[in-house]
Amino acid sequence: MRILVLAADADRLESALSAGGGDVTVKSHSGEAEHLLLCERFDVIVFHPRSDDPYFLTRMLRDYPGRALVVWLRSSSSPRVSELLDAGADEVLDGTMDDHELLARVRNAARHGRRPASHTLEIGDLRIVSPSGKASWRGELLPLTRRERGVLLALAEAAGETVPREVIYRKVWGYSMVRGDRSVDVNVKRLRDKLEQAEVELRVRTSPGVGYRLIIQITKPAETPVAIL
């Protein structure tokens, strides 16, 4: 179980969670924690609410719906616990709990953490169900692999804007792209080939030196296809 702890004084937490077999990484600033979340996968995020960043929990709920979110309070406070649970936290820990209880509560949060919310993205005749990424065109399921579905979703979410290769890689593979890695380009080529074979009005355009963008084309009678994205 990989655990990211965001707290200025996290020695006790780190010791308790590590003793239970957790792979614990500690950061003291929210900016550092969020940068790390872009590059690496964690099962649980434990954090102390900070007055200088009151929207951290809100951002975590929005951007990382598949992670268990656990709040660490140095002292017990029933009103504060109720407030945090109502706001969406999966668990609230405090300094009165012994190490065994801290570990047990974090493990329980990891087991029962929220499932990624399902939502549907529709652009013209393209329909993508997230987080599975299953895509269909005019009701027909597109025969794409998991990686190809991820690339298509990343491009569709950008609504016609160019998405840098590095951003696509982080969204689909889950960590930072190594210099020279061609995985994005390979999967874009495969995606293009399958879209052409399926005869759908989707095109992936290259922005040289930057990345890719998705174009949905509608062919009008006696007119040249026009991009609507």
As given in the structure block, the two tokens for residue 89 are 């936290």
pLDDT tens string for the chain (229 positions)? 899 999 887 888 888 889 888 899 999 888 888 888 888 888 899 999 876 677 888 888 877 777 899 999 988 878 888 888 888 889 999 889 999 999 999 999 888 766 555 678 888 889 998 766 789 999 999 999 988 998 999 999 888 899 999 999 888 886 678 888 999 999 999 999 999 999 898 899 999 999 999 998 755 545 555 555 5
Tell which residue, 171, 142, 174, 177, has the closest CA to residue 158: 171
Under 8 Å between Cβ of 141 and 133: no
Domains, the chain = 2-112 (3.40.50.2300), 119-227 (1.10.10.10)
**Strand intervals (E) in the chain:** 2-6, 23-27, 44-47, 68-73, 91-94, 119-123, 126-130, 134-137, 140-141, 163-164, 202-207, 211-218, 226-227
* 198-207, Cβ contacts within 8 angstroms, sequence gap of 24 or more: 198/137, 198/140, 198/142, 198/143, 200/125, 200/126, 200/137, 200/138, 200/142, 201/124, 201/125, 201/225, 202/126, 202/137, 204/155, 207/162
What pLDDT, on the 0 to 100 scale, is given for residue 219?
53
Residue tagged 């969670």 (tokens): 17
